[in-house]
Amino acid sequence: MQAPFSSIVPGSVVPPTLRVESELHDLRLDLRRWFEKNDPGPQPFEYEARMAALTRWQRQIHRAGFVGLSWPTEFGGGGMGLAAEAVLCQELAATSMPQLINRIALYTWGPTILSRGTPAQKARFLPGMLDASEIWCQGFSEPDAGSDLAAVRTRAQVSGDMLVVDGQKVWTSRAELSKWNALLVRTDPEGVRHSGLSVLIVDMGSPGVTVRPLLQMLGEPHFSEVFFDGVEVPLENVLGGLGNGWDVSMEAMAYERGLFVLERTTGLRRRFADLVDRLDALGKIEGAVASLGVLESKLDLLDAQVLRTLGHQENGTLVPGSSSVDKLFLADVYQDLFATAFDHLSDEGLDDGWIHDLLESRSVSIYSGTSEIQRNVIARRLLGL
């Protein structure tokens, strides 16, 4: 196992940044010890076997009491602050442990349900997120509604105590594994753009749901097209109230960019250290010093930025749109790191790990909103342009 980075030290940050308090130092040490003892080693190459292994891995971490550290104990969480959750993200990524498979639930929809859900929804949906017995996906994008999310056309009509859903989503990550889909639909046919939308929690096993996996350039069916043909969803599965889908979605997106960006940033720092070691071993550091310096500074800034976002999340002061800065910056650093590796290592031959990460880095400026859209949001909402 690789030593975690010194820059993420307890108490190294100031408010409103999320303070990784010194009492969490014990949690950090507990996690490191537990990972050392339970390191599952290399994951299976084959996609389905790897997904199954990742599900078992999350279950194992959950049994050890480390998943959902900031969630209320009544739903199976640890009852601690968001900083505890941040420590888990950092330690997982810094020690190159496999990811938690149910991250869409843990980082995005769990917090949204905690904020907007009914007591019945919290009791029903949160525990299965933690132990990975119920995997979640997110159905926002459609063939004609990606960047322009307010153009969603998938519709749901009220019929008695049910909603009936018809339409199509695309690029739904992990759809084929999921039990639940947080689905953005138009519930008011008269509603224009952002009004008349709702978020429904849809059982992916319902009659009328068809999942058609799509192959990425990495050769894996990471996401799918999902078709809804007269799918019945109980009205009690509307999240945050009928017609409030836009607000609910924007809140969910803000959560998505907190812990997820922190985990990715920590993982990038580990890959940065790998790159430095490799260049050093090859005697190529001198030629790369300038790019490495820029990268290290960017990683420091990204760390500071995401801890600030998480601090606002913890305090309930997150300004809508502000997490676009984190997402934009993450995409920039991600692509810069692997492009730098390619520039300096391609003569020596890049191994599969570097090639995988280089290809994957291209998707970071697309998913969860493209970099162009993040710039638009920053210009309009943060800078008032």
**In whole angstroms, how close is the CB of 101 to ligand FAD at the nearest point?**
14
**What's the token pair of residue 63?**
């049994």
Q: Which is nearer to ligand FAD, 196 or 369 (CB)?
A: 369
Helix (H, G, I), strand (E, B) or coil at 97: coil
Residue 164 φ/ψ, nearest 5 degrees: -115, 120
Q: Rule CB under 6 A: which residues touch ligand FAD?
A: 137-141, 146-147, 171-173, 222-223, 363, 366-370, 372-373, 376
**Residue 137 to residue 374: CA distance in whole angstroms:** 22
**Residue 174 to residue 170: CA distance in whole angstroms:** 11
Q: Which of 134, 176, 256, 314 is catalytic?
A: 256
Q: Which is nearer to ligand FAD, 182 or 279 (CB)?
A: 182
**In whole angstroms, how close is the CB of 174 to ligand FAD at the nearest point?**
7
**In whole angstroms, how close is the CB of 73 to ligand FAD at the nearest point?**
30
For helices 82-94 and 24-38, the axis angle rounded to 10 degrees is: 40
Q: In angstroms, how far apart are the furthest CA atoms of the chain?
A: 71
The amino acid present at 194, given as its one-letter code, is H
Residue nearest to ligand FAD (CB): 146
**In whole angstroms, how close is the CB of 376 to ligand FAD at the nearest point?**
5
Element (DSSP H or E) covering residue 331: helix 323-345
Q: Pairing between strand 155-159 and 223-234?
A: unpaired
**In whole angstroms, how close is the CB of 358 to ligand FAD at the nearest point?**
15
**Residue 135 to residue 101: CA distance in whole angstroms:** 8
Q: Which is nearer to ligand FAD, 145 or 350 (CB)?
A: 145
Taking alpha carbons only, the member of 246, 257, 208 closest to residue 228 is: 208
Q: In whole angstroms, what separates CA 26 from the centre of its chain?
A: 26
Q: Which is nearer to ligand FAD, 172 or 265 (CB)?
A: 172
The amino acid present at 368, given as its one-letter code, is S
Going 71 to 72 to 77 to 78, the CA torsion angle's sign is: positive
Q: Which is nearer to ligand FAD, 206 or 376 (CB)?
A: 376
Active site (annotated) includes residue 256: yes
**In whole angstroms, how close is the CB of 365 to ligand FAD at the nearest point?**
8
Q: Find the distance separating the first CA and the last CA of the chain, reported in whole Å.
A: 47
Q: Which is nearer to ligand FAD, 305 or 368 (CB)?
A: 368
- The residues that are catalytic are 256
